[in-house]
Amino acid sequence: MKPLVIVTGGAGFIGSAIVWRLNREKIYNILVVDEIDNLKWKNLLGLKFVDYVEKDDFLENIINKKYDKIKIDTIFHMGACSSTICSDARYYIKNNFEYTKILCEYAIERNIRFIYASSAATYGDGSNGFCDDETKLEILRPLNMYGFSKHLFDLWAKNKGFLNKIVGLKYFNVFGPNEYHKGDMRSFVIKAFYQIKEVGKVKLFKSYHPDYKDGEQLRDFIYIKDAVEMTLFFYKNRNFSGIYNIGTGTPHSFNQLVLAVFNSLNLKPNIEYIDMPKEIINQYQYYTKADINKIISCGYNKKFTDFEKAIDEYVNRYISKNKYLADYED
């Protein structure tokens, strides 16, 4: 039997997309680890894997060395609490930081490839840049506990001298099929789609920054298919380690995003600008842009899906038809 590939968070958005992409490489000896819920399980339909384990049981198995007789090739650690509004700081530490430390040390001790999800949330408001230079980790100032929990592990891995053995990926604003279960944490593409379907217009936050007009706040949006392509680059090219940005390097405004959704539905744009809630004004990012020179210098040269085409595909091929990545062969 071929060596096992483990994907934690494997029923989630990026995790299930990684399983889907591995399947396209004819890799099926996959162990999916997650904390399943009443919607997330649908992401696994049509995917090929050998087993599923709940995350707490998996961690217990790791601690008790129950997988030591199995040849494990790679651990994609995508499992985490990704909510930016959870108020339980200790949960972030236990779930995002402590859990990741245990898996990382397990992998390193056994020479298992370890690829984990960090986050662009570690960059905070971006005033210290968006460069994935590990020598500058200490200057970053995340704006929320989620970003801090990810940043904490990045710092821990650096201080332990592990960043030359593992790969950390800072995902920017990923959108695409298989995010349907994420509730308020879904991308604004799908939120805009449902606003249009329900009320015929989209609401965007007003700008409170003199350099940005209403709706012109910028984000580095990346289509899920491009994000997992970049992720698997490090699965196939094992001589690279460290922290890397997963984004396009080209930011787009929320106005551009919403116009693309309206265009994909062949509807006239209708945008309303609303007040931003006071509790997020001081945590709001007006600009994100992934510096991707590092991954390019490693040889990554695949073109990104055109922004408008990606949104059109997502809207018309997936959301409108309630389809998932595994529902299509191509």
- Judge contact between 201 and 150, C-beta under 8 A: no
Round to whole Å and give the CA distance between 222 and 251.
9
Tokens of 224: 């899920």
What integer pLDDT is reported at residue 65 of this predicted model? 94
Query: Distance between alpha carbon 195 and the CA centroid of its chain, in Å?
Result: 23
Reply yes or no on whether 182 is catalytic: yes
CA-based nearest residue to 79, from 112, 36, 139: 36
Query: And the tokens for 232?
Result: 């698997």
Domain definitions of the chain by residue range: 4-175+221-247+289-304, 176-220+248-288+305-330
Quick one: tokens of 5? 């590939």
The per-residue pLDDT for 330 is 78
Alpha helices in 200-269, H assignment, sequence order: 224-236, 254-264
Q: Give the pLDDT confidence score for residue 85 in this predicted structure.
A: 61
Q: Rounded CA gap, 292 and 18, in Å?
A: 20
Tell whether pTM > 0.85.
yes
Q: Poorest-confidence range of 92-96, 112-116, 147-151, 259-263?
A: 92-96
| pLDDT at position 132 | 96
* Residue 65 one-letter amino acid: K
Which is the catalytic residue, given 146, 287, 314, 318?
146
CA distances from 329 to 115, 116, 259, 315 (A): 26, 27, 29, 18
Instruction: Report the pLDDT value the prediction gives residue 87, as an integer from 0 to 100.
Output: 66
Rounded to an integer, what distance in angstroms lies between the CA atom of residue 54 and that of residue 204? 38
- Could you tell me the pLDDT band of residue 72, with boundaries at 50, 70 and 90? very high
Which pLDDT tens digit goes with each residue over 181-223?
999 889 999 999 999 999 999 999 999 999 999 999 999 999 9
Asked if 63 contacts 100 with a C-beta cutoff of 8 angstroms, the reply is no
- Taking a C-beta distance cutoff of 8 angstroms, is the pair 172, 222 a contact? yes
What CATH architecture applies to the domain 176-220+248-288+305-330?
A: Alpha-Beta Complex (3.90)
pLDDT for 282 equals 79
User: Of 42, 48, 160, 182, which residue is the catalytic one?
Assistant: 182
Is 197 among the residues known to form the active site?
A: no
Q: Does domain 4-175+221-247+289-304 bear CATH number 3.40.50.720?
A: yes
Q: Write the CA distances from 228 to 45, 174, 176, integer angstroms.
A: 18, 10, 11
Mean pLDDT for the stretch of residues 48-63? 96
